[in-house]
């Protein structure tokens, strides 16, 4: 958070005796020898993801969760030698495992002589450590002692310099991300605590809390939450929104049940439940099968909440009629193909909601309900196109379509080819007919350009990606006007911004070539299209896997990017990096009229805009568009897909009008 350093935790008291952020001046644990806080990465991992966590290099009984990089105004950061300062959590468990522990057959009930399984033993070992942490600020004091030990070892070795430190000695302060409020016998917690959204670890153990505020859900960066040794008879369902949690300790409370929303905690590694009178089957499941089994059970049993409110239609022009011959609607939708929707990638989604048979029916329903005249779908598998969507959309929606798979399908056997995804474009057969179709394979395009073949980075980075774009030239049956429609899906990896920019450059070059060719071949009555390709109505839909601040967005919207654009990095791509990029079309993102949506792709790791509908502004105008999903619904959702949304992407729906020379620019909108 930008204002993190302005938030002084000593400006008010959260407990009977205050609280101690680790190594904060004035705390019992204070020391000047600390480990700096690593900066969080931008999006990365998965399609897009914010998976970076603030972890310390200091071993502790809870590995990777203790961080000593806190605010220390005026203190010099030294190079601590703390690797052997205190035992790790695994060392604690190894020691505890050698001691006699009473076995139990239900959480909290002891049965002598019964051999504990590994999951049961882990619960018992962990609860022993938890009970040993009942003194005030136990974790902060242990960390401070470890820091002092490390500093002492460093000084005894004559190492008093800052050599090896990753922080400038002149730095004013580093950030703290951990608060220890344990062992204070607090009955209430100030709401101000929930404003510390940067926290990664929060110890509230061994207090007298009888309830926990749902506002705990604001602490979305929490990795460790310890609520052990309180008087909790329940925990709020909002706890399930803390999807970064890896350790949730609820030992020694009065819990009889867990909210099923905890099943959304797909990254949870340790769920401490020993010492609670839990109902079955959770009570025995945590002992016999462990944390993952309990989380999975809760996720699968979680009831489906109310669906979101219908997305509103936003009119952008005042005067036009919905049945105008020159108007049409377009949908752009990445449908998340069956092959990519794995339980590993979407572990927060119940298996039944991730199942393709369930999702494909919702996808079909979405397409038919919006009933767009042109539908551009990405991540369409060949078998699903041939066996389901082509026939269903024809019979139920009056659509015709064209599909091309990604380039890898060229070298595969028939069975394997049918599992390859690609792009599919559909159109209402009563409004348009297909004049021409073409598949732009970026691999093949690069091979056909001698100046690109000479660039080594083209082979090492571009040629290994088999993304495509499907181009369809559609003609309006009534007006004979033609629309050049492109449906693209660019490479996903954020570390390949250069490749996305190169793929977009190839896309625009090929669209210009196709536009010139098809315009020359058009019959005289085929439209008011000029021979100038820039006057061809152009529609580009797709999943560009690029944010609005990317080079791809800049190139499409402005028509050019310089040869030294930062997205090219240090890579060389022939004329692209020696001369820069430019295209002739005056393009605009349809949603830029109202400001791009808050997101078009929504997962726990990433929430942002990467899907777009681009149109040529000199030949087309936007008359309306579909708004985003209800914010209240999003606030209680960890990510898509879920029971209501079959893909991790949102469908974009836009209404456009083909401009006529001399025609007024505003008309009445009545979208139905």
Choose among 230, 233, 265, 455: nearest CA to 347: 265
Choose among 42, 40, 49, 41: nearest CA to 492: 49
Distance CA 648, CA 306 (A): 18
Q: What is the pLDDT of residue 414?
A: 86
For residues 90-116, average pLDDT: 43
Q: What is the pLDDT of residue 108?
A: 46
Q: What is the pLDDT of residue 534?
A: 74
The reply to whether 94 and 236 lie within a common domain is yes
- Greater confidence (653 vs 55) lies with 653
Distance CA 97, CA 217 (A): 35
Task: Using the Cα atoms of residue 507, residue 512, residue 513 and residue 514 in order, give the sign of their dihedral.
Answer: positive
The reply to whether 107 and 235 lie within a common domain is yes
User: End of a domain among 256, 281, 301?
Assistant: 301
pLDDT tier at 650, thresholds 50, 70, 90: very high
Is residue 90 situated within a structural domain? Answer: yes
**Exposed, middle or buried by CB within 10 Å (0-12, 13-18, 19+), for 670?**
exposed
DSSP states along 603-616: -SS-EE--EEEEEE
Q: Which of 80-94, 342-356, 480-494 has the lowest mean pLDDT?
A: 80-94
pLDDT tier at 639, thresholds 50, 70, 90: very high
Q: Is 543 a catalytic residue?
A: yes
Distance CA 614, CA 546 (A): 14
For residues 41-45, average pLDDT: 37
Task: Report the run of H or E that residue 96 belongs to, with start and end.
Answer: helix 89-97
Task: Report the run of H or E that residue 152 belongs to, with start and end.
Answer: helix 138-156
For residues 323-350, average pLDDT: 95
**Exposed, middle or buried by CB within 10 Å (0-12, 13-18, 19+), for 543?**
buried
Distance CA 105, CA 300 (A): 25
Q: What is the dihedral of CA 97, 99, 103, 108, to 10 degrees?
A: -90
Distance CA 573, CA 38 (A): 34
- Greater confidence (633 vs 107) lies with 633
Choose among 76, 68, 80: nearest CA to 172: 76
Q: Which of 46-60, 176-190, 570-584 has the lowest mean pLDDT?
A: 46-60
Is residue 49 situated within a structural domain? Answer: no
Choose among 116, 85, 89: nearest CA to 100: 116
The reply to whether 502 and 424 lie within a common domain is yes
Distance CA 396, CA 375 (A): 14
Q: What angle (nearest 5°) sits at the alpha carbon of residue 118, between those of residues 65 and 288? A: 105
470 neighbors 403 (Cβ within 8 angstroms): yes
Task: Report the run of H or E that residue 401 belongs to, with start and end.
Answer: strand 399-405
Name 330's bridge partners.
374, 654
Q: Does the pLDDT value for residue 166 go beyond 90?
A: no
pLDDT tier at 175, thresholds 50, 70, 90: confident
Q: pLDDT tens digits, residue range 427-447?
A: 999 999 999 999 999 999 999
For residues 32-55, average pLDDT: 35
Tell me 410's DSSP state: G
Choose among 552, 561, 558: nearest CA to 581: 561
- Greater confidence (3 vs 378) lies with 378
Q: Does the pLDDT value for residue 232 go beyond 50?
A: yes
Backbone angles phi, psi at 332, to 5 degrees: -120, 125
Q: Does the pLDDT value for residue 101 go beyond 50?
A: no
500 neighbors 462 (Cβ within 8 angstroms): no
Q: Does the pLDDT value for residue 579 go beyond 80?
A: yes
Q: At what angle do helices 390-397 and 356-370 cross, to 10 degrees?
A: 40
Listed in sequence order, the residues at least 6 apart from 291 whose beta carbon sits closer than 8 Å to its beta carbon are: 119, 268, 269, 270, 271
pLDDT tier at 148, thresholds 50, 70, 90: confident
Choose among 549, 459, 557, 539: nearest CA to 499: 459
Distance CA 239, CA 260 (A): 10
For residues 585-611, average pLDDT: 97
Is residue 448 situated within a structural domain? Answer: no
Listed in sequence order, the residues at least 6 apart from 506 whose beta carbon sits closer than 8 Å to its beta carbon are: 440, 442, 445, 446
Is residue 45 situated within a structural domain? Answer: no
The CATH number linked to 641 is 3.60.10.10
300 neighbors 282 (Cβ within 8 angstroms): no
The reply to whether 64 and 197 lie within a common domain is yes
Exposure string for 519-532, b = 16+ CB within 10 A, e = fewer: beebeeebbebeee
DSSP states along 224-280: EEE-TTS--S---GGGGG-TT-SEEE--SS--S---GGGGG-TT--EEE-TTS-PPT
- Greater confidence (568 vs 98) lies with 568
**Exposed, middle or buried by CB within 10 Å (0-12, 13-18, 19+), for 8?**
exposed
Q: Which of 201-210, 281-290, 407-416 has the lowest mean pLDDT?
A: 407-416
Q: Give me the number of domains the chain comprises.
A: 2
Q: What is the pLDDT of residue 158?
A: 54
387 neighbors 338 (Cβ within 8 angstroms): no
Q: What is the pLDDT of residue 458?
A: 95
Task: Report the run of H or E that residue 575 belongs to, with start and end.
Answer: helix 575-579
Is residue 397 situated within a structural domain? Answer: yes
- Greater confidence (82 vs 231) lies with 231
Q: Does the pLDDT value for residue 478 go beyond 90?
A: yes
The reply to whether 258 and 160 lie within a common domain is yes
Is residue 21 situated within a structural domain? Answer: no
Listed in sequence order, the residues at least 6 apart from 156 whose beta carbon sits closer than 8 Å to its beta carbon are: none
Is residue 456 situated within a structural domain? Answer: no
3-state secondary structure of 437: strand
Q: What is the pLDDT of residue 151?
A: 63
Percent of the chain's residues with pLDDT above 70 = 75
The reply to whether 506 and 404 lie within a common domain is yes
Backbone angles phi, psi at 205, to 5 degrees: -70, 155
Q: What is the pLDDT of residue 670?
A: 38
The reply to whether 275 and 338 lie within a common domain is no
The reply to whether 354 and 475 lie within a common domain is yes
User: End of a domain among 279, 301, 323?
Assistant: 301
Q: Which of 42-56, 284-298, 365-379, 555-569 has the lowest mean pLDDT?
A: 42-56
Q: Does the pLDDT value for residue 672 go beyond 90?
A: no
Is residue 222 situated within a structural domain? Answer: yes
The reply to whether 248 and 390 lie within a common domain is no
Q: Domain range spanning residue 533?
A: 334-440+465-570+580-658
For the entire predicted model, the pTM comes to 0.80
**Exposed, middle or buried by CB within 10 Å (0-12, 13-18, 19+), for 161?**
exposed
**CA separation (Å) from 338 to 332, 353, 646?**
18, 12, 11
Name 270's bridge partners.
247
Backbone angles phi, psi at 264, to 5 degrees: -80, -10
Alpha helices in 339-389 (DSSP H): 351-354, 356-370, 382-384
The reply to whether 130 and 226 lie within a common domain is yes
For residues 260-283, average pLDDT: 96
Which of 132-146, 174-188, 399-413, 420-434 has the highest mean predicted lDDT (pLDDT)?
420-434
User: End of a domain among 301, 318, 344?
Assistant: 301
pLDDT tier at 56, thresholds 50, 70, 90: very low
Q: pLDDT tens digits, residue range 283-326?
A: 999 999 999 999 999 999 999 999 999 999 999 986 555 568 89
The reply to whether 588 and 647 lie within a common domain is yes
pLDDT tier at 519, thresholds 50, 70, 90: confident
Distance CA 147, CA 28 (A): 12
Distance CA 21, CA 140 (A): 7
Distance CA 542, CA 555 (A): 15
Q: What is the pLDDT of residue 461?
A: 96
By residue count, the chain amounts to 672
The CATH number linked to 279 is 3.80.10.10
For residues 609-619, average pLDDT: 98
330 neighbors 374 (Cβ within 8 angstroms): yes
Q: What is the pLDDT of residue 666?
A: 42
Tell me 41's DSSP state: P
The reply to whether 292 and 193 lie within a common domain is yes
Q: Does the pLDDT value for residue 55 go beyond 60?
A: no
Q: Which of 252, 373, 543, 567 is catalytic?
A: 543
670 neighbors 321 (Cβ within 8 angstroms): yes
Which of 63-77, 93-107, 454-468 has the highest mean predicted lDDT (pLDDT)?
454-468
Question: What average pLDDT does the chain have?
Answer: 82
Distance CA 16, CA 248 (A): 24
């Amino acid at each position: 958070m930008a204002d993190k350093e302005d938030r002084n935790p000593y400006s008010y008291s959260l407990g009977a005796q205050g609280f101690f952020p680790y190594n904060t001046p004035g705390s019992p644990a204070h020391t000047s020898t600390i480990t700096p806080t690593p900066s969080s990465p931008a999006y990365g991992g998965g399609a897009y993801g914010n998976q970076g966590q603030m972890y310390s290099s200091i071993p502790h009984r809870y590995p990777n969760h203790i961080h000593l990089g806190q605010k220390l105004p005026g203190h010099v950061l030294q190079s601590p030698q703390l690797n052997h300062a205190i035992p790790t959590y695994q060392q604690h468990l190894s020691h505890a495992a050698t001691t006699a522990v009473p076995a139990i057959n239900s959480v909290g009930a002891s049965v002598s002589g019964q051999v504990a399984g590994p999951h049961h033993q882990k619960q018992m070992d962990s609860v022993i450590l938890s009970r040993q942490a009942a003194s005030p600020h136990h974790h902060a004091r242990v960390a401070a002692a470890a820091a002092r030990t490390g500093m002492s070892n460093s000084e005894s070795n004559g190492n008093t310099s800052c050599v090896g430190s990753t922080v400038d000695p002149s730095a004013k302060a580093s950030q703290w991300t951990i608060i220890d409020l344990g062992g204070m016998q607090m009955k209430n917690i100030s709401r101000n605590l929930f404003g510390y959204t940067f926290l990664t670890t929060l110890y509230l153990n061994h207090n007298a809390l009888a309830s926990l505020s749902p506002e705990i859900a604001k602490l979305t960066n929490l990795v460790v939450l310890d609520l052990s040794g309180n008087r909790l008879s329940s925990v709020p369902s909002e706890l399930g929104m803390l999807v970064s949690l890896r350790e949730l300790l609820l030992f020694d409370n009065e819990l009889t049940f867990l909210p099923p929303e905890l099943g959304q905690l797909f990254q949870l590694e340790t769920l401490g439940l020993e010492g609670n009178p839990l109902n079955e089957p959770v009570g025995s499941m945590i002992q016999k099968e462990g944390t993952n089994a309990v989380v999975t059970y809760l996720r699968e049993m979680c009831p489906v909440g109310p669906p979101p409110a219908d997305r509103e239609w936003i009119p952008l022009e005042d005067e036009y009629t919905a049945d105008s011959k020159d108007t049409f609607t377009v949908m752009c939708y990445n449908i998340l193909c069956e092959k990519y929707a794995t339980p590993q990638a979407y572990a927060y989604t119940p298996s039944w909601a991730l199942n393709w048979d369930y999702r494909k029916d919702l996808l079909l329903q979405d397409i038919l309900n919006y009933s767009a005249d042109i539908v551009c779908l990405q991540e369409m598998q060949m078998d699903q196109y041939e066996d389901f969507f082509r026939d269903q959309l024809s019979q139920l929606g009056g659509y015709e379509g064209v599909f091309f798979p990604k380039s890898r399908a060229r070298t595969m056997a028939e069975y394997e080819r049918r599992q390859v995804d690609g792009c599919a474009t559909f159109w209402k057969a009563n409004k348009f007919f297909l004049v021409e179709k073409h598949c732009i394979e970026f691999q093949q395009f690069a091979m056909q350009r001698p100046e690109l073949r000479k660039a080594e980075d083209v082979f090492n980075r571009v040629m290994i990606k088999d993304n495509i774009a499907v181009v369809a030239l559609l003609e309006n049956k009534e007006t004979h006007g033609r629309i050049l429609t492109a449906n693209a899906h660019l490479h996903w990896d954020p570390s390949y911004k250069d490749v996305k920019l190169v793929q977009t450059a190839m896309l625009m070059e090929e669209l210009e070539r196709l536009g010139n060719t098809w315009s020359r071949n058009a019959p005289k009555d085929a439209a008011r299209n000029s021979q100038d390709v820039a006057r061809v109505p152009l529609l580009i839909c797709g999943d560009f896997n690029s944010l609005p601040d990317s080079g791809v967005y800049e190139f499409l919207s402005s028509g050019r990017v310089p040869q030294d654009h930062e997205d090219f990095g240090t890579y060389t791509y022939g004329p692209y990096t020696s001369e820069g990029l430019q295209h002739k079309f005056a393009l605009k993102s349809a949603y830029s009229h109202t400001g791009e949506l808050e997101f078009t792709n929504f997962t726990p790791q990433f929430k942002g805009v990467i899907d777009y509908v681009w149109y040529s502004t000199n030949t087309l105008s936007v008359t309306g568009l579909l708004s985003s999903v209800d914010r209240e619904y999003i606030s209680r959702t960890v990510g898509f897909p879920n029971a209501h949304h079959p893909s991790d992407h949102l469908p974009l729906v836009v209404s456009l009008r083909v401009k006529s020379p001399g025609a007024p620019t505003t008309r009445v909108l009545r979208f139905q």
